[in-house]
Amino acid sequence: MNGNPTYHAIALAAGTLLVLPAPLAILTGWTPRGLRGRQLAARPYAWAVLCIYTLMPLNAVPRMLDASADTVMACTVLGFVFIATAVGCFIQAERTARRAGPKRVA
């Protein structure tokens, strides 16, 4: 059921390198050029992406360890909690951006 752990490890490493740096940089104070007009909304966006990133290890690690089907299913179901949290963060970011006013074009 779990497949080759090498493929899961490669996918997890690639996902970590591609997804993780940007939200961590935003949470430490850096703001991407596209969000500079919405600095207050950048942090909720970063938290949302981190919640989405959490799905990667939640799905890959149990399969890499050849866990039972029940454990894999429990981790998958737990992933839906992180998806709901990410949706909440995206909604909060949008509301924050709207409250801050229209984006100024420089």
Average pLDDT, the chain: 88
Q: Is 105's pLDDT higher than 70?
A: no
pLDDT tens-digit readout, 55-104: 999 999 999 999 999 999 999 999 999 999 999 999 998 898 888 766 55
CA distance 48 to 14: 19
What's the confidence (pLDDT) of residue 102? 63
Share of the chain above pLDDT 70, in %: 90
Q: Note whether 86 and 77 are within 8 A (CB).
A: no
CA distance 66 to 63: 5
Report pTM: 0.83
In the block, which residue shows the tokens 């100024």? 104
What's the confidence (pLDDT) of residue 64? 93
Average pLDDT of the residues in 17-24 = 94
What's the confidence (pLDDT) of residue 19? 95
- Measured from the Cβ of residue 105, the count of other Cβ atoms closer than 10 Å reads 5
Q: Please name which of 58, 35, 57 lies closest in space to residue 46, comparing C-alpha atoms.
A: 35
Q: Note whether 89 and 44 are within 8 A (CB).
A: yes
Q: Please name which of 29, 25, 17, 26 lies closest in space to residue 53, comparing C-alpha atoms.
A: 17
Structure tokens that stand for 106 in this block: 């420089």
Q: Is 2's pLDDT higher than 90?
A: no
Q: Note whether 67 and 2 are within 8 A (CB).
A: yes
Q: Is 34's pLDDT higher than 80?
A: no
